[in-house]
């Protein structure tokens, strides 16, 4: 019985995903189409991705990620839907934030 519980826990952790409805590939595409990197590169240099991994980064949990996406979305030239937001969140979480 104990073993079963431990197994269940393991399976659960492996599947943990704060953005189950977000799609990585679609998020990558929006990230490129919306030129998300542009300002981040200006701000922090390199390929801009350090903005997501800097020690004093702003986003500390999945809720904050969605909140921040809403701020940045409004600065891009294209319209970003709620689904795109989830896709972007899934993309950024998988690459950088890694929230369980």
Query: How many of the chain's residues bind ligand HEC (CB under 6 A)?
Result: 22
**Span 13-72, contacts to ligand HEC by CB under 6 A:** 31, 34, 36, 38-40, 43, 51-52, 57-59, 65, 68-69, 72
Residue 23, by phi and psi: left (phi above 0), alpha (psi -120 to 50) or beta? beta
| Residue showing tokens 């690459």 | 95
CB 94 within 8 A of CB 20: no
Q: How far is the CB of 56 from ligand HEC (least distance, A)?
A: 8
Of residues 7 and 60, the one with the C-beta less far from ligand HEC: 60
Residues found near ligand HEC in the complex (CB under 6 A): 31, 34, 36, 38-40, 43, 51-52, 57-59, 65, 68-69, 72-73, 75-76, 80, 88, 92
């Amino acid at each position: 019985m104990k073993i079963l519980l431990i197994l269940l826990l393991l399976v659960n952790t492996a599947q943990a995903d704060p953005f189950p409805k977000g799609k990585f590939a679609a998020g990558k595409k929006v990230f490129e189409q919306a030129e998300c990197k542009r300002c981040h590169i200006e701000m922090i240099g390199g390929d801009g991705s350090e903005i997501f991994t800097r020690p004093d980064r702003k986003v500390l949990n999945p809720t904050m990620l969605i909140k921040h996406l809403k701020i940045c979305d409004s600065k891009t030239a294209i319209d970003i839907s709620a689904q795109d937001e989830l896709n972007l969140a899934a993309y950024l979480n998988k690459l950088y934030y890694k929230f369980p």
